[in-house]
Amino acid sequence: MISVRTEMKADFNDPSGLFIRVELPISHEFLSDIIITALEGGINYWARILSSNIKNKEYLLQDLEFPNNKWYINNEVIFYGLNRILTNPEFQITPHIKQYILNGVMENDPGHIDAEAADCVVQAGLFNEIIFG
């Protein structure tokens, strides 16, 4: 179900004063599919999987260059990554990758999110920015 709500800033004549906010549901399966895409080819140039908890869909990653750096990724990390990329206009990401991610979310099809885009989602969720690649 798509929920649409319109909002308006005080100056109706200012073109940036109007916007439409669209809320889309995201399933756990959608988020998990992005994790798998990232693990199978998106993040291998900067991290490796140390351990996994398949039942909880949680993975422990280790930095390839600095092995003491470790991070957990799970659906929550992916959710926050998507949110940061799609709702923060200041977030630095290549426009075509952002478009792939937006298309995937809008069409509820994680197949639009390739390995490069999944890598960006993981990094946005973990670091609030793209720091590798």
Q: Which whole number is the average pLDDT over 59-79? A: 96
H runs (alpha helix) in 54-94: 75-87
pLDDT in tens, 89-125: 889 999 999 999 999 999 999 999 999 999 999 999 9
Identify the pLDDT of residue 82. 96
Q: Is the pLDDT of residue 18 over 90?
A: no
Place of tokens 């999987």: 49
Q: What is the pTM assigned to this prediction?
A: 0.84
